[in-house]
Chain A
Amino acid sequence: MSRVFPAALVLATTLALGFLLLPILAIFLRIPPGDLLAGMRSEAAIDALLVTVKTSAIANVLILLVGTPAAYAIASRRFRGRPLVITLIELPLVLPPAVAGIGLLAAFGRFGLLGDELTALGLSIPFTQVAVVLAVTFVASPFYLRAAIAAFEAVDPNLPAAARTLGASPARTFFRIALPLAGGGLGAGWALAFARGIGEFGATIMFAGSLQGVTQTLSLAIYEQFDIAFDLALAIGAELVVVSAAILLVVKLLPSWTRSTSDSTTLFAPSRSA
């Protein structure tokens, strides 16, 4: 009996690791490496990579530029309805992607809430790269906002207060004190948002479609290719595995990176006031 339990533990661990790693390994092992590389160099894969890089880059710049000041404002102010605002920000996190897609269509589609206004401006958003950017921003930004609010809240409120009494304007206080001290948490939140955005599928396919070279991202390309050219789908999948692994590595390395630039802020941990 005494040998059964340790053996069961080893078996469970092996099963868990094997089950999680097998599909990932299979992507790389199912076809010869040469075919995999050829697939990666195919037009469909390159188009999908370019669309993904372009839309992700724009979406992430938007998320950082708008999300950072918004998170700072919410974190540093106490106002009525604040918990409600935070809950509303978190709502898209738990929404199924299909709901996000139909919601985006209902808002920005030709017959959507803002449809007439957009048409009057000569704009048609659905099934364009703008739609991909909006879909990615919609599903990914709550990850960043939530982490950024937590990161700014973790900054000792006496530190910005001290900066103000030392003559710093609110803007200088933000750039010299709050931003560097929240940096670790902001970086971690951004990595999460980036990962969520790059894997975006459901909302994009409903709102932007899957047009090669226009709106077809890597995730959409896998879906389109897998019953036409399975090997190509595998190659695109391998690309996404590499990108995702790189992001994970960045997240894992963040805490030590933070420590080297600031003494007291670690990932999501409250900063000590020296």
Chain B
Amino acid sequence: MDSLDFRLDHPLRSFALGVELQVGRETLALVGPSGAGKSSILRAIAGLFRPAAGRIELGAETWLDTERRISLPPERRSVGLVFQEYALFPHLTVESNIGFGGRGRVRELLERFGISALARARPADLSGGERQRVALARALARDPAVLLLDEPLSALDAHTKATVRAELGALLRELRLPTILVTHDFEDAAALADRVGVIVDGRILQLGPSQGLLAAPASGFVASFTGANLLPGTARPGPDGLTEIALDSGTTAFSTAPGAGRVGVVVYPWEIALSSTEPVDSALNHVRGAVTSLVPLGNRVRVAVGPLTAEVTTGSAERLGLREGDLVVASFKATATRLVAL
């Protein structure tokens, strides 16, 4: 199987897109805020947008080389692109949508995606999850060498999303095509991709397995994008070889990570414990504050305490009788913190 290599440079409104990536038999997620240039990358690979400069190669085949003035039209690039809102043809049936790119595999794909019963339906009659399956089936009907997914889950409601995400993950593992997935949701990226690239203003800030990004975020932006708390402060050497950080909020935090000067203390919500009184425990960091919001997330509750967000189990939240306005102590160990330069 051929890998996809590309380098793209293009000036956009307020920044310049500049990325260089190699995607093998894997799913690479590009995550970042909207307007970071993620969709432009997919459109450039598909041939729907020609960058000012760049090169796109699939194995030995050149799709784009601005220096050699090569640019294959979209229909000659072996890509399957799933659009954000799916872009199903509203005037064609499910069957005709899937068969648009290639008639041969329609029956097989209808069965593979469990939508045989919908063959004669039109897109307007389908649910969000069904539309996504049709869009995937249509993109795969041409046997593409590269799969591109533009926010494949953003058009779905939270309830449908979990199921569809699991199905999509299984499909991607089965296909093992060079796949680029664009999303603004780090959780989706972590769940679906082998590697995650955080992209901001057209540049990739950090690229690696999602665990790596969580363990060692390269910057404050990557840390907060992956869902971490980021507490700004000033670091100096503290007792016992720890780093002591005078947080801007007034309290002091300790970290086992080295750092000096302006830093951000990175701590993930699931590393934070809550208690109603100051606990006697091994955690060095205690932040007292009022609960400002409680958001249930399935079996967990996301609790905002002053500048911090903690995640505790629903049972723990009930045991503590947490309510908005309650004063609680949030604790986290110095070993659970990372420091990023600000």
Contacts and interface: CB of A to CB of B under 8 A. Distances in A.
Contacts of A181: 89-91
B123 A274 contact: yes
B90 A271 contact: yes
A13 to B, nearest CB: 39
Contacts of A161: 43, 46, 48, 74, 83, 87
A166 B144 CA distance: 9
B48 A165 contact: yes
Contacts of B81: 162, 165
Nearest to A180: B91
A interface bracket (residues with beta carbon within 8 Å of B)? 20 to 34
B80 A165 contact: yes
A170 B73 CA distance: 10
B199 interface: no
Interface stretch (A43-51, A94-102, A235-243, A262-270): A262-270
Interface in B66-107: 73-75, 77, 79-81, 83, 85-91, 100-102
Contacts of A271: 90
A168 B88 contact: no
Main secondary structure of the interface of B (DSSP, over half): loop
A77 to B, nearest CB: 14
B121 to A, nearest CB: 10
A158 B90 contact: no
B124 interface: yes
A181 B92 CA distance: 10
B47 A164 contact: yes
Interface in A165-197: 165-170, 176-177, 180-181
Interface residues of B, number: 32
A263 B73 contact: no
B75 A273 contact: no
B184 interface: no
Given A165-B80, A169-B75, A274-B131, A158 B100 contact: no
Contact of A265 (B80, B85, B91): B91
A214 interface: no
A158 B87 contact: yes
A224 interface: no
Interface in A226-274: 261-265, 271-274
B124 A273 contact: no
Given A161-B74, A165-B48, A274 B87 contact: yes
Contacts of A170: 73
Question: Quick one: which of A162, A271, A272 has the most chain B CB within 10 A?
Answer: A162
B73 A274 contact: no
A266 to B, nearest CB: 11
B262 interface: no
Contacts of B139: 165-166
Given A162-B81, A263-B123, A168 B100 contact: yes
A90 interface: no
B142 interface: yes
Given A265-B91, A273-B85, A164 B80 contact: no
B165 to A, nearest CB: 21
Nearest to B99: A166
B64 to A, nearest CB: 15
B48 A274 contact: no
A210 B20 CA distance: 71
Contacts of B86: 273-274
A181 B88 CA distance: 12
Contact of A166 (B48, B101, B131): B101
Interface in A181-219: 181
Contacts of B73: 164, 170
Nearest to A177: B89
Contacts of B138: 166
A166 B138 CA distance: 8
Contacts of A165: 46-48, 74-75, 77, 79-81, 139
A263 B102 contact: no
A163 interface: yes
B47 A158 contact: no
Interface string A137-159: 00000000000000000001011
A182 to B, nearest CB: 11
Interface of A: 156, 158-159, 161-170, 176-177, 180-181, 261-265, 271-274
22 contacts: A158-B83, A161-B43, A163-B100, A164-B47, A164-B48, A165-B48, A165-B75, A166-B75, A166-B101, A166-B142, A167-B142, A168-B100, A168-B101, A180-B91, A181-B89, A181-B90, A263-B90, A263-B122, A264-B90, A273-B83, A274-B123, A274-B131
Given A166-B100, A273-B90, 4 more contacts: A156-B87, A159-B87, A165-B80, A180-B91
